[in-house]
């Protein structure tokens, strides 16, 4: 499984960005695809995840109402639309894949088996 994250950049407070995670290597029917972030000096934290089949989603409380996760079957891609960005959203964002069959996506980084490289998101005040 290969995951390729892109779409990061520099944006002002209140701005928007859309991150993409291209997935390849196998069928993802039983997988969850998730986004995590890690700010400088802090631990990696869960942001959002989606079940590839069925589309169940889950979000961290800190991003609910501002971020939206979605997937495109044809492109084998997961997106994270980030609106109303805040300086505290600044971090390296990682996409990850959990191969376990679950009813809802898991929020623990240790549940994810495959990781892409990160993409930097910087929100200026």
Instruction: Answer yes or no: are the C-beta atoms of 57 and 65 closer than 8 Å.
Output: no
Helix (H, G, I), strand (E, B) or coil at 110: helix
The contacts of residue 116 (CB under 8 Å, 6+ apart) are: 2, 3, 4, 5, 21, 94, 95, 96
pLDDT band at 9 (very low <50, low <70, confident <90, very high): very high
Residue 27 pLDDT > 90, yes or no? no
Average pLDDT score over residue span 46-70:
97
Which pLDDT score is estimated for 85? 98
Average pLDDT score over residue span 89-95:
98
Residue 83 pLDDT > 90, yes or no? yes
Rounded Cα distance, 65 and 29, in Å: 27
Which pLDDT score is estimated for 122? 98
When computed from its CA atoms, the radius of gyration of the chain, rounded to whole angstroms, is 13
């Amino acid at each position: 499984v290969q995951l390729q994250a892109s779409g990061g950049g520099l944006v002002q407070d209140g701005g928007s960005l859309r991150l993409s995670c291209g997935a390849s290597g196998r069928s993802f029917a039983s997988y969850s695809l998730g986004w995590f972030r890690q700010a400088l000096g802090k631990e990696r934290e869960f942001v959002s995840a989606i079940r590839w089949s069925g589309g169940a989603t889950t979000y961290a409380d800190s991003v609910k109402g501002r971020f939206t996760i979605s997937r495109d079957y044809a492109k084998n891609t997961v997106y994270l639309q980030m609106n109303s960005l805040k300086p505290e959203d600044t971090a390296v964002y990682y996409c990850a894949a959990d191969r376990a069959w679950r009813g809802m996506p898991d929020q623990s980084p240790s549940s994810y088996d495959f990781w892409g490289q990160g993409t930097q998101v910087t929100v200026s005040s």
